[in-house]
Structure 1
Amino acid sequence: MEKPHILFVDDDADMLRLMALRLQAAGYRVTTAASAEAALAQIGHERPELVISDVRLPGQDGMALFEQLRQRYAGLPVIMLTAHGTIPDAVEAMERGVFCYLTKPFDARVLLDKVAQALSVAAPVQAAQTTETAWRAGIISRSQIMEELLGETRLVAASDASVLVQGESGAGKELLAKAIHRASPRAKGPFVAVNCGAIPEQLLESELFGHIKGAFTGALNNHRGLFQTAHGGTLLLDEIGDMPLPLQVKLLRVLQEKAVRPVGASEAVAVDVRIVSATHRDLDAAIAQGLFREDLYYRLNVVSLTLPPLSERREDIPLLAAHFLAQVAGKYNKPVTGYAPDAMEALLAASWPGNVRQLYNVVEQVCALASAPIIPLGLVQRALRLPAQGILNYNEAKTRFERDYLTQLLKVADGNVTDAARMAGRNRTEFYRLLQKNGLDPALFRQPGEGVAG
């Protein structure tokens, strides 16, 4: 994985060298500039993921640099440093959208903590889309569990096998189905989606298979069904677990014969369609209860892919939150650039029963209500319907405790995973899984200059 890129701006050559070494030792790629003008020139050539700047610079000062960055690169976080700071200066800077404000001399560990927080909420730098990445467009992720799933998805897409996508509501099943289509040989054909649970039974048959004029009251013209519309491409049968049993029988016949008979027609029409199904239901349980046909299940479930809930891919929350904020800020034309650190902590600790869809809704609400460039904790608590005092439910409290506990262990062990795992009474492999689940990187807790062993 490519190292995060930080631009450090200061007119003190010794400070530039020292901080570049410390940040590089912490695992970052660092470029430097001695003035605001030089910094802007560098960013025009290559945009970093974070800017750290002294307030006092020759020519334009650091706040003038920040104002230009905010106008040109709304999602780029900026940390300001000064030897002449006051509380009013800091408050004003934060209100204007500076991520944080540190007064020299500062503790290097504090700066590294702030750097990690700022990078976690930074809007991702948009790279040129290539054929290697276009197929997964819209799927925002950096977690290992999602990367493994996407690797399986790419392999499955190359075949023409029917795929069953399982996962909780709001986890992104339709996005994964679109990725399968785009990565398949059918990518140039149509992608058609239908929610089997959202259409009344008496209309669903006509929607899927079509009808001829006069087939029933109101059938004033011939109607091509979705199977015919998707000919040569992919048809997503979303919420397949909600399909009524009579229609399950007819769908099975279509899959067996590769032809549809429109309602009222005497002849079948051949169709060439790849089927991707999706459900949040337990189909094994539905089969046991007589609510889903076992023979249809095996036709649809040639290959199964399971989307993890957002609570199992918490490393993706900062990335998704930043991505959605950039989208919504553009939609509402609001100069919102990021989240306060405690606001992001609240997002990371939330239980997310509604998964990625709920996260988007929360981001949209806080952006609509925001009156400053940085989203405060209060707005996030309001959108999550959390008490302002921070009282959490049991699962949220458990999640927050686990993350705080792991963070404290890594701090005490200076990022040494073996020592931290020993203190926790867990083996190293299990401890690494816990760190991954909570989006914690041991390298961020190591003292500058330390090795990466452990």
Structure 2
Amino acid sequence: MSQTNISDPNVLLVDDDESLLRLMAIRLKGEGYNVQSASGGKEALKLINTQNFDVVLSDLRMPGLDGLSLFEEIMGLRKDVPVILMTAHGTIQDAVEATQRGVFGFLTKPIDHDELRSLMKKAVSQSQGAQNGKWCEKIITRSMQMEQLLDQAYRVAKRDVSVLISGASGTGKELLASAIHKASKRADKAFVAINCGALPENLLESELFGHAKGSFTGAVNEHQGLFREADGGTLFLDEIGDMPIPLQVKLLRALQEQTIRPVGSSKQIPIDVRIISATHKNLSKEMEEGNFREDLYYRLNVVNITLPTLRERSEDIPLLARHLLKESAERHQVKVSRFSDDAMQLLTTCLWPGNVRQLVNVVEQCVALTHTPVIASHLVEQALSASEQKWPTLTEARDAFEQKYLLKLLKMTDGNVTRAAELAGRNRTDMHKLMKKHDLHSVDFKRD
């Protein structure tokens, strides 16, 4: 599990007394806190909606939005942020009511410096402890780059915005998406994932939006679809760059209107879903080539998180290898304790083009093949060689078939795109796009 250390905690100080606001800010800055000040509850809410704070320290009695009302608003946005209330009119009843509602602490003015220091320390410990909690326990790392990325992911998780995760295949995009869901206020609802490149267009549309009974051949029952399955929770759209343009249009409309219309139905159904999407493609290039809608890109890419390759976080390789070895040995009930020094050296110097997914595959093969408690280097070499000839993903297999199909079609029609499109049951525009995708040119197939 990652251990994230966050220095100089961010504190929001709220009080309608300007002189006390200045004095408290000086005190807290002297203790090493980053302090933002607000002169009232409404101003504080604006800051909370746009920035991340580890602790909120607020006056209880303020005109307009008072401290308790501010606390209730904060809980609706960020349940993990400790709120400490201050008052010059402190009573036992005030303190009891505040703590019963979930306020972290209660201070009476004039503020005792030692009491403030102690309470702030406990509040920060709780706030940062939430970041080091179980939300990212499946992400194994000691890389500073990954630590910073996880800190960003945790803070983004608290904002109910769309996230686009970029990164090469095998870097763990779905794992990060699931962790963001666990750290969000939607954690008690469903996390639903789908690979947009693994299904043909008509099936993908039905899977996402559902279909009405009898809407097409084989639709013997109503199907609610993944949007409705994820209602209140998170929908993870993996390989979003492979989504066909017609479906991109329907997805954009669903996100804009927060409603969906199942296939074969005229009924609009309201949805409350957070979208996290992922891609290994360069979507900027895809937009330039007309393969991805610009308006959808900006709707999905409110926050972008880019995962590093395994090679870029090479300090994690031994840590990951040992963790995966332990898991695999327990799963297969094999007494394997470690890699030999030569084997570990081989693992750490490999380029890992398949990233963490390839490392998982190599460790699994080593555990399956070893006859001793220590995995030798020749087993790692054998597993690495086998992993380079890996079984293709469904998307890779489909692309390979598509290319062969187009080659045969263009040869049959002597490069006549109109005729080829007719045989394929596609229009000329689609055919030209497919040919461009596979770098095929009709002139190369025309007979002399």
TM-score norm. by structure 2 comes to 0.57
Partner secondary structure for residue 313 of structure 1: helix
Match of 1:230 in 2: 230
CA distance in 1, matches of 2:356, 2:330: 19
Distance 1:130 1:154, change over 3 A: closer
Shift of 1:384: 1.2
CA distance in 1, matches of 2:277, 2:230: 14
The residue type paired with residue 145 of structure 2 is: I
Give ranges in structure 1 of 5+ residues lacking alignment: 3-128, 387-454
1:257 maps to 2:260: no
Partner secondary structure for residue 385 of structure 2: coil
CA contact (8 A) 2:131 2:154 kept: no
CA contact (8 A) 2:166 2:280 kept: yes
CA contact (8 A) 2:131 2:151 kept: no
Match of 2:193 in 1: 193
CA distance in 2, matches of 1:227, 1:264: 16
Match of 1:384 in 2: 384
For the pair shown, the structure with the greater C-alpha radius of gyration is 2
Match of 1:136 in 2: 136
CA contact (8 A) 2:212 2:222 kept: yes
Match of 1:331 in 2: 331
The residue type paired with residue 321 of structure 1 is: A
The residue type paired with residue 204 of structure 2 is: L
Partner secondary structure for residue 305 of structure 1: strand
Of structures 1 and 2, the one scoring higher in RCO (CA 8 A, sep 6+) is 1
Shift of 1:167: 0.4
- For 1:261-276, list aligned pairs within 5 A: 261-276=261-276
Partner secondary structure for residue 351 of structure 1: coil
Match of 1:153 in 2: 153
Shift of 1:137: 2.2
* Superimposed CA distance per residue, residues 119-150 of structure 1 (whole angstroms, 9 cap, x where no aligned partner): xxxxxxxxxx9884210021000110100000
Partner secondary structure for residue 326 of structure 1: helix
Match of 2:351 in 1: 351
The residue type paired with residue 184 of structure 1 is: S
CA distance in 1, matches of 2:202, 2:365: 37
- For 1:35-434, list aligned pairs within 5 A: 132-385=132-385
Match of 1:441 in 2: none
The residue type paired with residue 312 of structure 2 is: E
Shift of 1:295: 0.4
TM-score norm. by structure 1 comes to 0.56
Shift of 1:179: 0.7
CA distance in 2, matches of 1:215, 1:384: 48
CA distance in 2, matches of 1:332, 1:192: 28
CA distance in 2, matches of 1:132, 1:322: 21
CA distance in 2, matches of 1:217, 1:178: 35
Shift of 1:331: 1.4
Partner secondary structure for residue 254 of structure 1: helix
The residue type paired with residue 298 of structure 2 is: Y
The residue type paired with residue 150 of structure 1 is: L
Calculate the aligned-residue CA RMSD, in Å.
1.5
* Superimposed CA distance per residue, residues 89-148 of structure 1 (whole angstroms, 9 cap, x where no aligned partner): xxxxxxxxxxxxxxxxxxxxxxxxxxxxxxxxxxxxxxxx98842100210001101000
Provide the identity percentage.
59
CA contact (8 A) 2:171 2:310 kept: yes
Match of 1:28 in 2: none
The residue type paired with residue 303 of structure 1 is: V
CA distance in 2, matches of 1:151, 1:369: 38
CA contact (8 A) 2:167 2:309 kept: yes
Partner secondary structure for residue 164 of structure 1: strand
* Superimposed CA distance per residue, residues 282-341 of structure 1 (whole angstroms, 9 cap, x where no aligned partner): 000000000000000000000000000000001100110001000110111111000111
Partner secondary structure for residue 385 of structure 1: helix
The residue type paired with residue 327 of structure 1 is: E
Partner secondary structure for residue 334 of structure 1: coil
Length, aligned pairs only: 260
* Superimposed CA distance per residue, residues 166-216 of structure 1 (whole angstroms, 9 cap, x where no aligned partner): 000000000000011000010001000000000111101110000110111
CA distance in 2, matches of 1:221, 1:301: 35
